[in-house]
């Protein structure tokens, strides 16, 4: 009897079993990953309401707790959103302000959003009013030199490129000291 003939179906069967195990594990995980990454989209129509009223409408409609620390101001909001993720709506509402937003998830669903308002962004160009310095850039005179200090807002994108980093000087490459109790073995 030819034993090579019997081994071939066993190898094919083992390969098929391994293929299906890997296939279902990757496809199953991919489906779960895609379902958790898909953001829930909502639609809102804000007509001449304050930011706090708009946040109240969002909380009521979605059931997501929104906590804001800082002054939301009293500017009116007249805008409509259709099929937008909540994160994008909130970023748009607070456009023009420096803020930090933390999204808290529970059981793979958005549970609460905490927003810290740091201040309002202002144009730092030349202005005639020197009584109040711009909040994001200021200059200070020390002796004969002008020292430039900059504050970075957390949601601002950099408009200038930082200077290139100077190459680090590497000293002699020496091994770290041996721990006590260990000795090098000689051949």
User: Per-residue pLDDT tens for 5-28?
Assistant: 555 677 888 888 878 787 777 666
Is 135 in contact with 87 (CB distance < 8 Å)?
A: no
CA dihedral 177→179→181→186, nearest 10 degrees, is: -40
Q: What is the pTM of this model?
A: 0.45
- Three-state DSSP at 56 gives helix
Provide the pLDDT for residue 177. Answer: 74
Number of neighbours of residue 59 by Cβ within 10 angstroms: 15
- 123-134 pLDDT, tens digit each: 454 444 444 434
| Largest interatomic CA distance in the chain | 101
pLDDT along the chain (187 residues), means of 10: 59 81 68 55 86 89 89 82 88 85 84 82 48 40 42 48 60 69 67
The candidate with the shortest Cα–Cα distance to 80, out of 94, 92, 68, is 92
Provide the pLDDT for residue 163. Answer: 64
Q: What whole-number distance in Å separates Cα of residue 149 and Cα of residue 141?
A: 11
Provide the pLDDT for residue 135. Answer: 42
Provide the pLDDT for residue 2. Answer: 54
Provide the pLDDT for residue 160. Answer: 60
Tokens encoding 14? 């083992």
Provide the pLDDT for residue 181. Answer: 74
Distance between alpha carbon 49 and the CA centroid of its chain, in Å? 29
- Level-2 CATH architecture, domain 41-120: 3-Layer(bab) Sandwich (3.55)
Geometric angle at alpha carbon 72, from 100 and 70, rounded to 5° = 55
Half-sphere exposure at residue 47, Cβ-oriented, CA atoms within 13 angstroms: 1
């Amino acid at each position: 009897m030819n034993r090579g003939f019997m081994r071939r179906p066993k190898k094919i069967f083992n390969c098929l079993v391994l293929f299906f195990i890997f296939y279902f594990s990757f496809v199953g995980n991919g489906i779960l990953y895609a379902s958790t990454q898909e953001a829930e989209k909502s639609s809102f129509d804000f007509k001449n309401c304050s930011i706090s009223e708009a946040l109240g409408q969002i909380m009521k409609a979605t059931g997501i707790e929104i906590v804001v620390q800082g002054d939301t101001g009293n500017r009116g909001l007249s805008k409509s959103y259709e099929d937008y993720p909540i994160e994008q709506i909130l970023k748009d509402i607070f456009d023009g302000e420096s803020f930090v937003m933390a999204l808290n998830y529970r059981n793979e669903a958005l549970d609460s959003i905490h927003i810290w308002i740091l201040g309002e962004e202002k144009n730092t160009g030349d202005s005639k009013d020197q009584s109040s310095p711009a909040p994001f850039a200021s200059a200070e005179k020390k002796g004969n030199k002008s020292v430039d200090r900059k504050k970075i807002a957390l949601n601002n994108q950099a408009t200038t490129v930082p200077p290139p980093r100077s190459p680090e000087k590497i000293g002699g490459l020496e091994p770290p000291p041996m721990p006590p109790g260990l000795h090098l073995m000689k051949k």
